[in-house]
Structure 1
């Protein structure tokens, strides 16, 4: 049971993450439940890691609403521009 718990809750290893992190989540995602993402987001914030969480209302794992798809790609590009140095 202890191994299962360690593997099932990645936020328990948040202290090993140093990289700025962007989470883009569908509110109704059942592949990666929003609760898990929120837990990791809060864990990273509490450790002072630069992190951002965006929740797309009514969306699942794959976004279907065109405006959300555009927003997601814009956020990817903005995030890379901010954090990837040339």
Structure 2
């Protein structure tokens, strides 16, 4: 799994679970196939900008808030990798 894909996957999956939603529910709200959401959540596929926008709206957040959480997750993961290299 690619580094950025993992951060995206972690954030989307965490937010969905925090809201008590199934993949079926979130994918329906985001107007996407459940299989597509599953691939995003496993890091097998990076979402397009329109998909990120729909996911943010389905998660009741602004797109920039979702992207910020993903950026923070990438920074956390990067710091962990650097810490492990010491």
Q: TM-score range by the shorter chain?
A: 0.3 to 0.5
Superposition TM-score, scaled by structure 2 size: 0.34
Structure 1 or 2: larger strand share?
Answer: 1
Structure 1 or 2: larger helix share?
Answer: 2
Please tell me whether Structure 1 or Structure 2 has the larger radius of gyration of its CA atoms. 1
Superposition TM-score, scaled by structure 1 size: 0.34
